[in-house]
Amino acid sequence: MSVSTKWLNEVKWDENGLVPVIAQEASSGDVLMFAWMNREALQRTAESGHAIYWSRSRRKLWHKGEESGHVQKVIEIRIDCDNDVVLLKVEQIGGIACHTGRHSCFFQKFLADGRWEAVEPVLKDPKDIYS
């Protein structure tokens, strides 16, 4: 018996049928990344327990970690008060969420002198992640 998908109707999808998604590490509270989901991606994420996003550049579903092995195990799915942003609380397998080999995609900090600086280390060289 499958779970009803009526809950998907409560999401406020944008004009392209997408909703913004924030992936947050459940254990630390670190914001790991921002992405998009369409209806199918959110449904498949809920069913599989792994983060599946919509790649706007590739125009297809993207199972996080399909190439890198750095999958996101979904602990909890939340939606904001306006029903237009999804929050995934995840366990980041391998500790790397960013394609740059860092823990988080939010590794650049704005400095008072008006420039951005990388303040998080590269944990693994992307050349060693993607072949």
* CATH code of the domain containing 67: 3.10.20.810
The yes-or-no verdict on residue 2 having pLDDT over 90 is no
Q: Which helix (H) or strand (E) holds 126?
A: helix 126-129
Average per-residue pLDDT for the chain: 95
Q: How many domains does the chain have?
A: 1
Q: Is residue 106 part of a domain?
A: no
Amino acid at 49: G
The pLDDT tens digits for 12-70 are 999 999 999 999 999 999 999 999 999 999 999 999 999 999 999 999 999 999 999 99
1 pLDDT tier (thresholds 50, 70, 90): very low
Range(s) of the domain holding residue 93:
6-99
Contact 46, 62 (CB under 8 A): no
Q: Is residue 115 part of a domain?
A: no
131 pLDDT tier (thresholds 50, 70, 90): confident
CA distances from 17 to 9, 36, 54, 56, 60 (A): 11, 10, 10, 11, 13
Phi, psi (5° rounding) for residue 69?
A: 85, -5
Q: Is residue 10 part of a domain?
A: yes
Q: Is residue 74 part of a domain?
A: yes
Q: Is residue 13 part of a domain?
A: yes
